[in-house]
Amino acid sequence: MLSNTNSAPNNRQTQKIEVLPPVVAERIAAGEVIERPASVVKELVENSLDAQATEITVILEDGGKKLIEIIDNGWGMSAPDLERCVLRHATSKLRTLDDLDRIQSLGFRGEALASVAAVADLSILSRPQGEKQAHELRLPDTQAQAVTFGHFHGANHGTRIRAQGLFSQIPARLKFLKAARSEVTQVREWMERLAVTRPAVGFRIVSDDRTVLDLRPSSTSDPEAARVRQILSDGGDFPVVTREHTSLDGSVRARAHWIHGFSSPQTRKILQVVNGRVLRDRLIQQAVLSAFRQALLPGQFPAMALYLELDPSQVDVNVHPTKTEVRFLNSSQVFREVQSLVEAMIAEQGSPVRVPETSKGWFVPPVVSPAVPLWSTPPTQPAAEQISLLRAADSSPEISSSPSHPLSEARYVGIVFNTYIAYEAPGEELVLIDQHAAHERVRYETLRMRAGDLNQSQELLIPEAVKFPVERRLDVENRLVWLEDLGFACEIFGEDTLLFRSIPAVWGTSALRTRLRNLLDRALNQELTDSTPLMDEVLFEKLASEACRSSVFGGDRLLEPEARSLVDKLFQCDHPWNCPHGRPTVVRIPAVKFEEWFLRRV
């Protein structure tokens, strides 16, 4: 059995559950996976998805404490498989260690059903595809019984699993369960996350006889975008922006669906799907957030689903008991691909700006299609020489000679409240530019350019060695990508030493060893989930506050040529849409809004 490396565990034809031999079982990251109803639902729904179900219903009673029932229309199990599926390390999805390298199924450890059986009363009814008879296994019986009426008759095949009285025999665990309502919320969140990975599958939750979730496959041209929107936009009317990108070597495919104009106070609305598996990977989250750092205010996070496809051998899924974390073979490449995909989206679309409406709360400025020249992609290289200080004292107001930017066709209207520069743009829009925010952006990019390219490295003649506690080695390893991203080239040397071979050019070399030690210290004390990489942040703060100090302020009076030249310079920036701290520089109000306000349209 072990030598049969050609087995295709995910293929229905060869599905047969076997108990893994100890050599294989021992190498699988095991762990107690059942904590609460949501974890039962997650495991069982994953099994339904692995069985290619297209319709999955979850029924809960008392938040799942009394009953969790999952019904699917997947390929089902034969009677002998039913009897084996509840054994520990019994699985049809994996046979040998080699299979671990090409796992496509969500499960592979053969532990979930055994774990559920250990903490609840379990019964499983199933009828396999192509067989006449349904069978039921009711633990503690070890034999499946033929069932001649009820579920799965006629043409239906599939599986129904019931777990009753979760933790009723284990009071110590039972007391950690929350009120039914919040257990249901957690179940729903897990279902939604799984639903994002399979837009063609219908998902339903019925809790105490009420339907609390009903996700139907969409018949639109992009069902995946439709599903993401359904789950992430909280019912709001936001457009979904989609962008795809394949790495140059073809090894990483990334696709993002961004709910444009919507932001959340939590990172929970950043969903990650890697090879069909929903994850909470810190590295990926970090890559998304670092791209958004200058596009959203602190404490605001985007709503976005990110899909990555890599060769399965490039991803180790066997690192975490609930499989919500993975390890990438080439993690810095993954980081960079995600970051540049998201950065490109932000540069192209601008970041969300909300304009208050008089009566109905908020509206989002419309996303203008790329066909309209007004919001064409800004030039990628800011022209350094053209960005000069604008303050009255040193300004020599001459109109920029190459003003081919989004507002070059627009009519300059004037300045409102000595603060907002107003343009009437083709395409029926009033465009307002905050003079302070705009100048801050321009100054920031100028200063940044003077500081040199942050990624430009300086090689050290003699590498600097910094020691760390041996037991933190794994943590140091996990932070190498960060350091690399900040412009440090370093590698682990021996058991407890980090060797720096080059540093960012802006760092300089005075007291280098001490500063590198501090850097590593800080890196180790910083949670990987923090939204901003550390060193870049220090430099960024310095530049941003310097930019703020030396900028024109709201209320400072600008002459028309100064205002126009500021706008020209703004659109030569890499990130024209926000000031360095994420406040919007530009707000667009479509003419139809005026018509609504003045009741010209009903």
89 binds, among ligand ADP, Mg ion, none (CB under 5 to 8 A by kind): none
Smallest separation, CB 460 to ligand ADP (Å): 49
What sign has the CA pseudo-torsion 595, 596, 598, 602? positive
Q: Is 422 exposed, middle or buried (0-12, 13-18, 19+ CB in 10 A)?
A: middle
Query: Minimal CA–CA distance to 553: which of 420, 414, 436?
Result: 436
Smallest separation, CB 106 to Mg ion (Å): 7
Residue nearest to ligand ADP as judged by C-beta position: 107
Alpha helices in 486-533 (DSSP H): 512-525
Give DSSP secondary structure letters for 182-243: HHHHHHHHHHHHHHHH-TTSEEEEEETTEEEEEEPPP-SS-HHHHHHHHHHSTT----EEEE
Q: Is 422 left (phi over 0), alpha (psi -120 to 50) or beta?
A: beta
90 binds, among ligand ADP, Mg ion, none (CB under 5 to 8 A by kind): ligand ADP
Cα separation values, 427 from 321, 361, 410, 596, Å: 54, 24, 10, 17
Q: Would you say 47 or 400 has its CB closer to Mg ion?
A: 47
Q: How far apart, in whole angstroms, are the C-alpha atoms of residue 586 and residue 351?
A: 10
Smallest separation, CB 186 to ligand ADP (Å): 19
Which are the contacts of 453, defined by CB distance < 8 A and separation ≥ 6? 505
* Residues making contact with ligand ADP (CB under 6 A): 15, 17, 43, 47-48, 51, 72, 74-77, 85, 90-93, 107-114, 159
In 275-342, where do the E strands start and end? 277-279, 301-310, 315-316, 327-328
Helix (H) or strand (E) holding 37: helix 37-50
Smallest separation, CB 40 to Mg ion (Å): 11
76 binds, among Mg ion, ligand ADP, none (CB under 5 to 8 A by kind): ligand ADP
* Angle (CA) 513 514 520, round 5°: 90
Stretch that binds Mg ion, among 10-18, 39-47, 484-492, 493-501 (CB under 5 A): 39-47
Q: How far apart, in whole angstroms, are the C-alpha atoms of residue 255 and residue 273?
A: 10
The answer to the question of residue 107 lying near Mg ion (CB under 5 A) is yes
The answer to the question of residue 112 lying near Mg ion (CB under 5 A) is yes
The answer to the question of residue 115 lying near Mg ion (CB under 5 A) is no
Q: Would you say 112 or 589 has its CB closer to Mg ion?
A: 112
Q: Would you say 107 or 487 has its CB closer to Mg ion?
A: 107
The answer to the question of residue 315 lying near Mg ion (CB under 5 A) is no
Q: Would you say 112 or 326 has its CB closer to ligand ADP?
A: 112
Smallest separation, CB 91 to Mg ion (Å): 8
92 binds, among ligand ADP, Mg ion, none (CB under 5 to 8 A by kind): ligand ADP
Q: Would you say 8 or 511 has its CB closer to ligand ADP?
A: 8
Q: Would you say 15 or 419 has its CB closer to ligand ADP?
A: 15
The answer to the question of residue 498 lying near Mg ion (CB under 5 A) is no
The answer to the question of residue 47 lying near Mg ion (CB under 5 A) is yes
The two three-digit tokens of residue 17, written as one number: 């559950």
Q: Would you say 52 or 395 has its CB closer to ligand ADP?
A: 52
Query: Minimal CA–CA distance to 16: which of 4, 25, 26, 24?
Result: 4
Smallest separation, CB 292 to ligand ADP (Å): 36
Which are the contacts of 401, defined by CB distance < 8 A and separation ≥ 6? none
Q: Would you say 124 or 498 has its CB closer to ligand ADP?
A: 124
Residues making contact with Mg ion (CB under 5 A): 47, 107, 112
